[in-house]
Amino acid sequence: MNLAELTMAEFEAGLARTRTAIVPFGSVEEHGLHLPLGTDTFQIVEVARRAALEVPVFVAPPLHYGYCRSTRDHPGTLSLSPETVRRVAFDVGESLYRHGVRGLILASGHAGGLHMSALEEAGERLVEAFAESEVAVVCEYRWAQEEGLAGVVETGDDGHAGEIETSRILALDRALVKGTSPEEYPRLPRPFVARHKRPCWPGGVWGDPGKATPEKGEVLFTRCVARMVALVREMEARIAPA
C-alpha cells in the first residue's frame, strides 16, 4: 500500500491487514556519467513497490536525500548531515508508531557507512522509546551485492554505478541510462582522509558499467524483492497481536 496515495480512512482500514511499514531511504548522488542522481532512491522504491504487491505492507514516501561523504565533491550530489538523517528517521518512525504501525523497516538504497550508522542509531532510539515497536534497518543495495556475487554479475569488486546498479536501472527504465562510463575504482588514500576527493575518484564509478544488462538487473530485483517480502513476513510475526 502506497501510503502517500491513501486517504486517512484507507490507512485505518489498512491497519487491519498489516502493522508494518517500509520507509525507503535514497540519495541525490552522482552515479558516473551515465546514471541519474536519483539512482539509489529509484532502486529501493522499486523493491518496496514490488514487495507490496506480494505481501500487505505500508510503503511510506521515500527520503530522497542521504549522507554522502566520498561523492560530496562530484557535481549534483546533495547531502544531509548524519544527524539530520537520524532525526528524520526517528521522527517518521515516531509518527508511524503513533498511528498504529508497530513494525518499521528502514530500508536504504544508499550504502554509505555513516549514512547507515545514522539509520541504525535511529532504530536503536525507536526501540528504546516505544515498547511495542520492532525495527529492522537494512541496506537493500548490500542485498543486491550479495545476490550479484551469487552468479549474476561478472565484476568481483562492484560498488557504485557499476555493473549492479547499471543493470538494475536498465531493468527499471532504459531511458534513464545515458550511455555508459569507463570501468573505474576509487583511489582514496586509506587510512588518510582525502581533503579533495574528486581527484581520487574522477569518474565516480566503482566497477564496470560496460558489463551491465537489463536481464541481470531483473534477476537482482527479483531476488531482493523476495528478501524484502521475507523480512516483512518475519516482522509481522514478531509484532504482538493488536
Task: Give the mean model confidence (pLDDT) for residues 202-207.
Answer: 97
Q: What is the largest CA-CA distance in the chain?
A: 55
Class of domain 3-238: alpha beta
Q: Give the confidence band of 188 by pLDDT, cuts at 50, 70, 90.
A: confident
Average pLDDT over all residues of the chain: 96
pLDDT over threshold 80, residue 59: yes
CA distance 38 to 184: 20
- Whole-model pTM: value is 0.96
Which pLDDT does position 240 carry in this prediction? 66
**pLDDT of res. 194:** 87
Per-residue model confidence (pLDDT) at position 167: 98
Task: Tell me whether residue 50 is exposed, middle or buried, using C-beta atoms within 10 angstroms of its C-beta: 0 to 12, 13 to 18, 19 or more.
Answer: middle
Average pLDDT for 75-104? 98
200 pLDDT band, cuts 50/70/90, is confident
Q: Where are the beta strands (DSSP E) in the chain?
A: 20-25, 58-59, 103-108, 134-139
Q: Residue 189 has what pLDDT? A: 87
Query: How confident is the model at residue 242, as a pLDDT?
Result: 60
Amino acid 8: pLDDT: 97
For the chain, the structural domain boundaries read 3-238
Tell me what pLDDT residue 14 has: 98
What percent of the chain lies above the pLDDT cut of 90?
94
Cβ atoms 104, 134 nearer than 8 A:
yes
pLDDT tens string 11-49: 999 999 999 999 999 999 999 999 999 999 999 999 999
Distances (CA, A) of 92 to 22, 85, 103: 11, 11, 13
Model pLDDT for residues 206-221, shown as the tens digit of each residue: 999 999 999 999 999 9
